[in-house]
Amino acid sequence: MSALDTVKSLIPHRPPFLFVDEIVSESADGLVAKRTWRADESFYEGHYPGAPITPGVLLCEAVFQTGALFMARQAQTAGAAPGSGVPLLSKINDVRFRTPIYPGDTVVIEVKKKEVVAGFTMMSGNVKRADGTRVLNVDFTVAWKTPEGQQAQQ
């Protein structure tokens, strides 16, 4: 199974809205992933023409998807069936952007579990360039749920 297939087996996100390429490492309290931002991605056409930069909201989404991968691995370890729910973001706070990311850049995404309260997992996340330069930090909370009306993955 390829690195991307492993990611796709754990979370429901799919291209063009999948912003994690591979899992690099994992532990009981966190997960590290990677993403290379490709110049042919359509959002660069409008953000910004002639001077493309990766939208901050998509960098945050890469962190949230890495958090979903961490939660899916935890659920898998606990014996949950694959595809038994989806990650629902419930809170975002203290986002700090430090340096831009451009087409072709590879980033390392790290999430760490802070605590779990009443079914909500509080995490911190960060993105760094491959050379270690800090890109962003964010704290967020996620619940793993089966929403009403959810259709099965195909």
Question: Does the residue 26 lie in any domain?
Answer: yes
Tokens, residue 142: 């996620």
Element (H, E) at 32: strand 30-36
Residue 128 burial class via C-beta count within 10 angstroms: exposed 0-12, middle 13-18, buried 19 and up: middle
Looking at the 3D structure of the chain, how many domains does it have? 1
The reply to whether 47 belongs to the active site is yes
User: What integer pLDDT is reported at residue 138 of this predicted model?
Assistant: 98
CB 82 within 8 Å of CB 153: no
pLDDT tens, position by position, 22-58: 999 999 999 999 999 999 999 999 999 999 999 999 9
Q: Which of 8, 47, 128, 129 is catalytic?
A: 47
CATH at 126: 3.10.129.10
Domain limits at 10?
Answer: 3-144
User: What integer pLDDT is reported at residue 133 of this predicted model?
Assistant: 98
Mean pLDDT across 74-101:
89
Mean pLDDT across 136-144:
95
Question: Does the residue 133 lie in any domain?
Answer: yes
pLDDT tens, position by position, 57-74: 999 999 999 999 999 999
Cα dist from 13 to 41, 46, 68, 93, whole Å: 16, 23, 10, 22
Question: Does the residue 123 lie in any domain?
Answer: yes
The sign of the CA dihedral 62, 80, 120, 113 is negative
